[in-house]
Amino acid sequence: MIRYSEEIIDEVRQNNDVVDVVGQYVHLTRKGRNYFGLCPFHNEKSPSFSVSPDRQIFHCFGCGVGGNVYTFLMKIEGIGFKEAVEQLAERANIQLPTLENSADAAKEELKAKVYKINEFTAEFYHQNLYKPTAKSGQEYVKKRKLTNETLETFRIGFSGRFDELYKALKAQGFAEKEILESGLVIKNDRGYIDMYRNRLIIPICDVRGRVIAFGGRVLDDSKPKYINSPENVVYSKGRHLFGLNVAKNDCKKKLIIVEGYMDVISLHQRGITNVVAALGTALTEQQGWLLRKSTEQVILGFDADGAGQTAIARSMEILQKMGCDMRVLQIEGAKDPDEFIVKYGEGRFKLAVDNAISLVEFKVKNLKKDINIENASDKIKFLNEIAKILAKVDNTIEREIYIEKIAKKYNI
């Protein structure tokens, strides 16, 4: 039997907007955030069939059918799941791998081995941290005031010297090819050497908690400061969010996204558990889907510097396209969320999360930066730009609220 991987099933779903697919069969009209039409599965005169672009699902209030894009296609075409995947893959121009041929079967086997190598390595490095040889790692952890509980939760570790990991993996019976594929060991003309040496190690997990990669931070002044696993059979950049496996039970309503994994770890220890990191500067579209799927509201908590602000703008563009409800965290008086919580405490941080501003307010605030409101011509320009931003808000009630808020805030 042919079985597609969860990754590919997700990818196909994400590349087939449920509104577009349903729209091929049902005439849909937009009402607020959702679309409505006459249900194709029961007879009706007034539309009770709804499609939600935000949640990528459909539901009929008349007959109760509902589901995602796969369910819809299976039902309306009377086909099985496998066929639905194939049809939608074709529609989105996605090449489906078949597991029939031996090359793919071998790849699946290699993947399974690399997961095992990663799991072993995470534990190996974690145990290392408590050894006398990990002095620099222990000092760093102490300086950051990380508790034992935090070290356990994120399985923070310390890498060894030369080829310690390589030898340990060999002793476990892993083959050279598998070890090299993991990216944890590199081969040069002198032989095999561990990729991470004398670094603080942070395992990166997928949403299910499987270790897929590692981040390594130097503990002296050498460069680069951080190194990450290269892409391999189990890891591709931009498809995961650091910390989602830990945050997933606490992020239904709000999920905060920050820049680095040390931010996630530090916030988590201070009681903010609904937080993830993008593992790279800019949010990718796949990460956007992952965020939207995981929560009702995304809070962008990037650094206050220029790069952070650029990342916010770019991330907002991606999230907005997905119809994602998002806010921007205001961390005045600190350079990043971590510094903010250390300085002002958990309570103030939670307040900042509750008071995070909308996209419209963020845009207006940025506009205000280069404008002197006391100057008449600047003020006119400011008002004109605000009008342009507000014109893009579809919902009239929402627009009214913004007008009131902005007028009050800027005294206009």
The residues of the shown chain that bind Zn ion, judged by CB under 5 A, are: 39, 41-42, 60, 62-63
The helix (H) or strand (E) run that includes residue 316 is helix 306-321
Residue type, 265: I
Q: How far apart are CA 315 and CA 292, in angstroms?
A: 12
Pick between residue 43 and residue 95 the one whose CB is nearest to Zn ion: 43
368 class by beta-carbon count within 10 Å (0-12 exposed, 13-18 middle, 19+ buried): middle
Residue 40 C-beta: closest distance to Zn ion, Å: 8
Tokens encoding 284: 């990718």
Residue 58 C-beta: closest distance to Zn ion, Å: 10
Pick between residue 63 and residue 105 the one whose CB is nearest to Zn ion: 63
Q: Locate the DSSP E strands across 206-271.
A: 211-218, 226-228, 254-258
> Cis omega (within 30 of 0) on the bond before 224?
yes
Residue 39 C-beta: closest distance to Zn ion, Å: 3
Pick between residue 60 and residue 218 the one whose CB is nearest to Zn ion: 60
Q: How far apart are CA 274 and CA 248, in angstroms?
A: 7
Residue 48 C-beta: closest distance to Zn ion, Å: 6
Residue 65 C-beta: closest distance to Zn ion, Å: 6
Pick between residue 41 and residue 344 the one whose CB is nearest to Zn ion: 41
Contacts of residue 211, defined as CB under 8 A and 6 or more positions apart, other chains included, come to: 115, 118, 119, 121, 122, 203, 204, 205
Hunting for tokens 């005439």 — which residue is that?
27
Classified as helix, coil or strand, 151 is helix
Pick between residue 58 and residue 158 the one whose CB is nearest to Zn ion: 58
Pick between residue 62 and residue 67 the one whose CB is nearest to Zn ion: 62
Residue 49 C-beta: closest distance to Zn ion, Å: 6
Q: Locate the DSSP E strands across 233-324.
A: 254-258, 275-277, 297-300
Residue 63 C-beta: closest distance to Zn ion, Å: 3
Pick between residue 47 and residue 337 the one whose CB is nearest to Zn ion: 47
Classified as helix, coil or strand, 357 is strand
Classified as helix, coil or strand, 100 is coil
Tokens encoding 338: 């971590």
